[in-house]
A and B are shown apart, each in its own frame.
Chain A
């Protein structure tokens, strides 16, 4: 479903260059749960941003369902993003909207009728365990709750793949496992999950496929992998 072909990304910093990703090639099949491991600055976020079309590769190609993402015009980009749900380390919720509205927003913009929104949002809130927080604003929630809202939002329009960029980076241990369990549950329901994390504990306990990155290079790609550097 997702394919990287010799993808490199080079940033220019103060006249010098910095390789965020160097000649990475791999593919991810529909329904997989893939962890992307590596220390901070190893290129995990860059990789996810490319799938979302936020960054373009300096060389090489990224395909989503056979389509070269860098060839999608900016105007059409929102269509790609509606097929891809993204969960961020800093949640990226809309601060002036309630939990309900934050989630409904993802459905509204694809033009879903009100009736469907009124049915689906409570269901998803139930799934992430926030049925009683529907009317709260983001500042009234704890970190773990915010992340669950963010996952609910990524989930609501039934995307084919969910990208989670350090979703547990701001959370304590208990909330971290809540989020990971939630992602596993969503994966069981058929959605492809790509989880980027530098958390050794999570990777070692998941027993799923692991892509290990170091300094922009893909150094390991293992089924049932562990975090080894």
Chain B
């Protein structure tokens, strides 16, 4: 196609877009809703992931080691644990540290303090293990219970936290799967609504297409301006979604941080700003362009 033709097609598309401003505005609003809700879904997924990660980080397993086991042995155990793929971090709390922490926590309880002073240090040294994923604790525990360190271990507090860990791991899987499903359904609904809106907008041009056809315009010369129009709808819708979303996130980000302390959604957004906008733009353009082409195809058969 010649440059002149492309230029004319773009100009005609822009004229259609501008001279039917109200129709364009209505179509853009619907597409805006589609793109906006898709964006919100993506952001909700990110927030959800952040909350889960925060919760998972709070869960750990403490392994209490017998008093007589030497520090060297404990260090060896620690490095062996670190070597496991499932283990994210292992921290060592010696019995002295544990006592200090205990005293600090209960300094307002004189009865406890007195009995500690009488008993000496009853606390055992412990290894706190964090797994990469809540579902991996089972494997780590079985490594400890059945391996060469069996004799050195006094007690593993896993049993107490097990239901919590399992629930969390279960919940996180469900949220991931459910979120994906809901996202897909909503995206499809939004896409269909946008598609139908464009189709209705194009219905107005039914007669125009016939006229163009009868005075001898080629397929692409007819389709071109409508394609340009559809792309303009999508681009403007993506742009408005961006303009609305940015201040919203700026205001709500601190509130979300209360819920999930480790997440700063606005920072995530600004870090991924261009990628995010690009995706919105592509979504809008593909949705608008494809809808136009499909909608106009019907009227081209004259």
Contacts and interface: CB of A to CB of B under 8 A. Distances in A.
B5 A92 contact: no
Contacts of A79: 216
Contacts of A78: 213, 216-219, 221
A84 B213 CA distance: 12
B211 A93 contact: yes
Contacts of B5: 111
Nearest to B8: A108
Interface residues of B, number: 22
A105 interface: yes
B38 to A, nearest CB: 32
B302 interface: yes
A107 to B, nearest CB: 10
B221 A109 contact: yes
Nearest to A91: B211
B20 A153 contact: no
A110 B8 CA distance: 12
Interface string B200-232: 000000011011111111110100000000000
Interface in A70-111: 75, 78-82, 84-86, 88, 92-97, 105-106, 108-111
Contacts of B20: 96
| Chain B binding surface SS class | helix
A82 B5 CA distance: 16
A93 B214 CA distance: 11
Interface residues of A, number: 28
Contacts of B258: none
A52 B214 contact: yes
Given A54-B302, A96-B20, A111 B215 contact: no
A108 to B, nearest CB: 5
A113 interface: yes
A124 to B, nearest CB: 14
Given A95-B208, A96-B16, A109-B221, A86 B8 contact: no
Given A75-B219, A109-B221, A92 B8 contact: no
B246 interface: no
A111 B16 contact: no
Contacts of B208: 94-96
B2 A106 contact: no
B161 interface: no
Contact of B4 (A88, A94, A105, A111): A111
A54 B214 contact: yes
Given A96-B20, A111-B2, A106 B15 contact: no
A94 B211 contact: yes
Given A96-B19, A96-B20, A109-B221, A81 B216 contact: yes
A105 B237 CA distance: 30
Contacts of B218: 78, 109
B216 A109 contact: yes
Contacts of A110: 216
Interface in B68-91: none
Nearest to A108: B8
Interface string A134-170: 0000000000000000000110000000000000000
Contacts of B8: 108
25 contacts: A52-B214, A54-B302, A78-B221, A81-B214, A81-B216, A82-B216, A85-B215, A86-B214, A92-B210, A92-B214, A94-B211, A96-B16, A96-B19, A96-B20, A96-B208, A105-B215, A108-B221, A109-B215, A109-B216, A109-B217, A109-B218, A110-B216, A111-B2, A111-B4, A114-B4
Given A96-B20, A106-B216, A108-B221, 19 more contacts: A52-B214, A54-B302, A78-B218, A78-B219, A78-B221, A80-B216, A82-B216, A84-B216, A85-B215, A88-B214, A92-B207, A92-B215, A93-B211, A96-B15, A96-B208, A97-B15, A105-B212, A111-B4, A113-B4
Interface of A: 52, 54, 75, 78-82, 84-86, 88, 92-97, 105-106, 108-111, 113-114, 153-154
